[in-house]
Chains A and B, each alone.
Chain A
Amino acid sequence: MIQVSSLVKRFKTKTAVSNLNFKAKAGEIVGFLGPNGAGKTTTMRLLLGYLFPSAGVIKIDKLNPWDERIEVLKKIGYLPENNPLYPEMKVREYLSFIAKIKEADNLESVMELVSLNQVREDKIEELSRGYKQRVGLAAALLGKPEILILDEPTSGLDPLEQEKIRSLIKKLSQEKTIIFSTHILSEVEDIANRLMIINEGKIVYDGVKPKGRGGVEKLFKKLVKTNNY
Chain B
Amino acid sequence: MWTLYKKELDYYLNNPIGYIVVGLFAVFANFLFVKDIFVNGTTSMRPFFNLIPWLFLVFIPALAMRIVAEEKRINTLEILLTLPISETQIILAKFLALLTLVILGLILTLGLPISLALLSKIYLPEIIVGYIGTLFLAAAIISLSLFFSAQTKNQVVAFLLSVLTTFLLMLLSTDFFASILPKTLQDLCSYFSPTYHLQNFVKGVIDFRSLFYFFSFTLIFLFLTIVDLEKRN
Contact = CB atoms under 8 A, between A and B. Distances in A.
A73 B82 contact: yes
Contact of B83 (A71, A82, A88, A101): A101
A141 to B, nearest CB: 13
A111 to B, nearest CB: 18
B78 A102 contact: no
- Which of B4, B81, B83 has most A Cβ within 10 Å? B83
Interface stretch (B7-15, B31-39, B160-168): B7-15
Chain B interface bracket (under 10, 10 to 19, 20 to 34, 35 or more): 10 to 19
Contacts of B86: 69-70
Contact of A102 (B4, B14, B83): B83
A225 B75 CA distance: 31
B232 interface: yes
A100 B85 CA distance: 11
B81 A80 contact: no
Nearest to A100: B3
A142 to B, nearest CB: 10
A101 B78 contact: no
B30 to A, nearest CB: 30
A78 interface: yes
- Which of A73, A74, A89, A101 has most B Cβ within 10 Å? A101
Interface residues of A, number: 26
B193 to A, nearest CB: 37
Interface in A122-139: 139
Contact of A80 (B7, B11, B79): B79
Contacts of A70: 84-86
Contacts of A168: none
A52 B232 contact: yes
B232 A51 contact: yes
A50 interface: yes
A84 interface: yes
A69 B230 CA distance: 11
A73 B83 contact: yes
A4 interface: no
A110 to B, nearest CB: 15
A2 to B, nearest CB: 15
A50 B84 contact: no
A24 interface: no
A72 to B, nearest CB: 8
B74 interface: yes
A224 interface: no
24 contacts: A48-B82, A50-B232, A52-B232, A69-B86, A70-B84, A71-B84, A73-B83, A73-B84, A74-B84, A78-B82, A80-B75, A80-B79, A80-B82, A84-B75, A84-B79, A87-B74, A88-B14, A88-B15, A97-B7, A98-B79, A100-B3, A101-B84, A101-B85, A102-B83
Interface of A: 48, 50-52, 69-71, 73-74, 76, 78, 80, 82, 84-89, 97-98, 100-103, 139
